[in-house]
Amino acid sequence: MSVEITIQPITAAAFAPYGDLIDCAGDPDAIINLGKCGRYNDRAQMAFDGARAGLSLFNAEIRTLPYEFNLLERHPLGSQAFVPMSNDGFLVIVAPDQNDKPGTPVAFETKPGQAINFHKGTWHGVLTPLSGTGHFAVVDRIGDGNNLQEFSLPTPHIVVRG
């Protein structure tokens, strides 16, 4: 017995309840560096409650579809941004909160050149690249306090393409 989830195309609007979709779509906010660089400014709603921002790297195993999972987690004290360091999309699993437990999970896949930022407290799956190097830069909260809550779904969920 398992639950199948079909990947949805990610858009800023569809992802907005969970976080920020960050890319170079549209016009930049500023042109800098003598005209040779566009700046898409300040695109993530970041939070680092009572602590500070840190920059870390994650080296994650490449996954394949269909992808089975039952672990979700959230960070109650801060946001968490994921920037792929290769030109690849990646699988993003999130869930709305329902009384301090995750509701029905939703799966998105980013496009190459896109990063995402989970808002503070958003339930999400672990980092799941589907191609590329598996190297990501992560901007999240560095400090004391319990900033990790995990939840195991009672039924395995399986992510597939539509």
User: Which residues contact a second copy (rule: CB under 8 A)?
Assistant: 22-24, 28, 32-34, 36-44, 46, 48, 52-61, 71, 81, 83-87, 112-113, 115, 117, 126-127, 132-133, 135, 137-139, 142
* 78 touches 149 (CB < 8 A): no
Report, in Å, the least distance between residue 35 CB and a second copy: 9
Report, in Å, the least distance between residue 6 CB and a second copy: 23
For residue 72, CA distances in Å to 26, 111, 126, 149 come to 33, 22, 7, 8
Q: Rank residues 29 and 98 by Cβ distance to a second copy and give the closer one.
A: 29
Report, in Å, the least distance between residue 16 CB and a second copy: 16
Q: Rank residues 63 and 98 by Cβ distance to a second copy and give the closer one.
A: 63
Report, in Å, the least distance between residue 153 CB and a second copy: 14
CA distance 75 to 118: 9
Nearest to 119 by CA among 52, 67, 155, 74: 74
Report, in Å, the least distance between residue 115 CB and a second copy: 6
Q: Rank residues 8 and 131 by Cβ distance to a second copy and give the closer one.
A: 131
Q: Rank residues 22 and 94 by Cβ distance to a second copy and give the closer one.
A: 22
Rounded (5°) CA angle 80-107-113: 60
Q: Please state the φ and ψ torsions of residue 14, each to the nearest 5 degrees.
A: -65, -30
CA distance 89 to 22: 12
Residue identified by tokens 């016009």 is: 27
Q: Rank residues 16 and 98 by Cβ distance to a second copy and give the closer one.
A: 16
Tokens of 153: 């779904």
